[in-house]
C-alpha cells in the first residue's frame, strides 16, 4: 500500500533535484557535470493490462554528454516480487529511452537496505542471464544531521536524511536539530520543510516527536492530517461558526474547503505551475468540499493548472 512516507521518500527527488548532489556522494558515484534534470513518466505498463509503475524516474543530462536515467524506488521492507520487477524496470526503461539506468532504492532500516542491495539474479544452475544490483540509500550511507546549520544550507538533504534515519535510535536528537535549524529559515520555507518532514514520518513513532516540535500554523500538504492542517482547519471551522449548531456545521465544511483550496494553491506554487488571477480566484473562493477534494487528488501530478478542472464540467452538468 502506498503511504505518505513512501511518497515523500521518492517525490523529494522530483520536486527538489538539488538533493541529488549529496546523494551521489553518499552512493560513491561522481556527480554529473552541470546536469539538467527532467522528470519522466514513471509508467512502465505495456499493452497487456498489467500496470507497472516506478516510483520516480529522472533523466539526467550532463554537460559532458554522459546522459542516464535514475529510477528511484522507496522501499520500507523486503518484498519478494522486487527481484523480478526491479530488473524489469531497468530493462524496460533502457529499451524505451535508449539510456543506461541507475536503480536506487531508498530504505529506512539497515535490514531492508541490506536486502535491497541484491544481487537479484536470473539464472538456471550455473548459467546466469541477468544480475541486478541496485544502489541503496539508507542509514549506512546517508549521513545523520549533526549540525543545525546544515538544515539552513541544505534543507532538502537534511529533510531526506531525517526521513531515512526515522527508525534510528538517534532520531529524536536529529529531529531536535532539524527544529532548531529551521528557525533560521524564513517562515514560508520553514513551514514547507516542517510539514514535508511530518508527511515523510507518517507511520513511524518519530512523527509524534516531530509534531511536538512544530510551532507554526499553515499547510502545504492538504489532506495528510498533519499538525499544521489540523490547526489551520480548526481555526477556519471555528471562525465560520456563529454560535448555532447548523451554522457551525456549515461553517466547518466551508472552512475545510477554504483551507484545502489554499493548500491547492500552495502546492501549485511549490511545483512552479503558473496560476492566473482568474484561476486563483476560482480556487480560493470554492466552498464545494468534494470538488476541492478532487483538485487535491490531482494537484500533485498535473502538468498545467487547467488539468485540475478536467472533471468539473461533467460535475456541473450532472
For the residues of 86-120, what is the DSSP string, one character each?
HHHHHHHHHHHH-S-EEEEEE-SSHHHHHHHT--E
pLDDT computed for residue 44 by the predictor:
59
Q: Are residues 205 and 246 both part of a single domain? A: no
The pLDDT tens digits along the chain (318 residues) read 445 556 666 777 777 777 777 777 787 877 776 677 777 766 655 545 455 678 889 999 888 888 999 999 989 899 999 999 999 999 999 999 999 999 999 998 999 999 999 999 998 888 888 999 999 999 999 999 888 888 888 888 999 999 999 988 889 899 888 888 887 777 778 878 888 888 888 777 888 888 777 654 334 444 555 555 555 445 555 555 544 444 445 555 556 677 778 778 877 776 778 888 888 888 888 888 888 888 877 777 778 888 888 776 555 544
Q: Are residues 116 and 164 both part of a single domain? A: no
Q: Are residues 12 and 116 both part of a single domain? A: yes
pLDDT computed for residue 270 by the predictor:
67
For the segment 89-132, what is each residue's pLDDT rounded down to a tens digit? 999 999 999 999 999 999 989 999 999 999 999 988 888 889 99
Q: Are residues 239 and 273 both part of a single domain? A: yes
Burial class from Cβ neighbours inside 10 Å (0-12, 13-18, 19+) for residue 312 reads: middle
Residue 208 domain-assigned?
yes
Residue percentage of the chain with pLDDT more than 70 = 77
Q: Are residues 14 and 43 both part of a single domain? A: yes
Q: Are residues 132 and 158 both part of a single domain? A: no
Q: Are residues 24 and 104 both part of a single domain? A: yes
Q: Are residues 240 and 282 both part of a single domain? A: yes
pLDDT computed for residue 133 by the predictor:
95
Structural domain range at position 47: 4-137
Burial class from Cβ neighbours inside 10 Å (0-12, 13-18, 19+) for residue 313 reads: exposed
Q: Are residues 128 and 42 both part of a single domain? A: yes
Q: Are residues 25 and 110 both part of a single domain? A: yes
Provide the domain count of the chain: 3
Q: Which residues of 255-291 are buried (b: 16+ CB within 10 A; e: fewer)?
A: bbbbbbbbbbbbbbeeeebebeeebeebbeebeebeb
Residue 245 domain-assigned?
yes
Instruction: List the grid coordinates of 43.
Output: 509508467
Q: Are residues 11 and 118 both part of a single domain? A: yes
**Cis bond upstream, residue 129 (ω within 30):** no
- For the chain, how are helix, strand and coil distributed in percent, rounded to 5? 50, 15, 35
pLDDT computed for residue 243 by the predictor:
44
Q: Are residues 52 and 154 both part of a single domain? A: no
Amino acid at each position: 500500500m502506498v503511504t505518505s512516507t513512501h511518497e515523500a521518500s521518492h517525490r523529494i527527488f522530483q520536486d527538489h533535484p538539488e538533493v541529488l548532489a549529496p546523494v551521489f556522494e553518499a552512493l560513491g558515484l561522481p556527480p554529473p557535470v552541470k546536469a539538467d534534470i527532467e522528470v519522466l513518466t514513471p509508467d512502465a505498463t505495456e499493452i497487456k493490462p498489467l500496470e507497472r509503475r516506478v516510483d520516480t524516474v529522472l533523466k539526467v543530462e550532463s554537460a559532458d554528454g554522459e546522459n542516464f536515467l535514475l529510477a528511484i524506488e522507496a522501499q520500507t521492507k523486503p518484498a519478494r516480487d522486487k527481484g523480478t520487477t526491479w530488473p524489469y524496470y531497468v530493462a524496460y526503461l533502457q529499451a524505451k529511452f535508449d539510456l543506461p539506468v541507475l536503480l536506487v532504492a531508498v530504505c529506512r532500516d539497515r535490514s531492508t537496505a541490506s536486502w535491497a542491495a541484491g544481487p537479484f539474479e536470473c539464472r538456471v544452475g550455473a548459467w546466469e542471464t541477468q544480475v541486478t544490483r541496485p544502489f541503496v540509500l539508507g542509514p549506512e550511507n546517508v549521513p545523520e544531521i549533526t549540525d543545525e546549520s546544515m538544515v539552513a544550507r541544505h534543507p532538502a538533504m537534511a529533510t531526506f536524511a531525517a526521513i531515512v534515519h526515522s527508525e534510528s535510535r538517534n532520531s529524536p536528537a536529529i529531529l531536535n536539530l532539524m527544529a532548531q535549524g529551521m528557525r533560521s529559515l524564513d517562515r514560508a520555507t520553514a513551514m514547507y520543510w516542517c510539514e514535508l518532514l511530518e508527511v515523510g514520518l507518517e507511520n513511524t513513532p518519530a512523527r509524534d516527536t516531530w509534531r511536538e516540535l512544530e510551532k507554526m500554523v499553515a499547510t502545504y500538504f492538504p489532506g495528510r492530517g498533519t499538525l499544521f492542517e489540523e490547526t489551520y482547519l480548526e481555526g477556519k471551522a471555528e471562525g465560520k461558526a456563529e454560535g448555532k449548531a447548523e451554522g457551525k456545521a456549515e461553517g466547518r465544511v466551508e472552512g475545510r474547503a477554504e483551507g484545502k483550496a489554499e493548500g491547492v494553491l500552495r502546492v501549485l506554487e511549490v511545483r512552479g505551475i503558473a496560476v492566473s488571477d482568474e484561476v486563483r480566484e476560482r480556487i480560493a473562493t470554492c466552498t464545494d468540499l468534494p470538488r476541492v477534494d478532487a483538485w487535491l487528488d490531482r494537484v500533485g501530478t498535473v502538468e498545467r493548472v487547467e488539468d485540475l478542472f478536467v472533471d468539473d464540467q461533467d460535475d456541473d452538468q450532472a
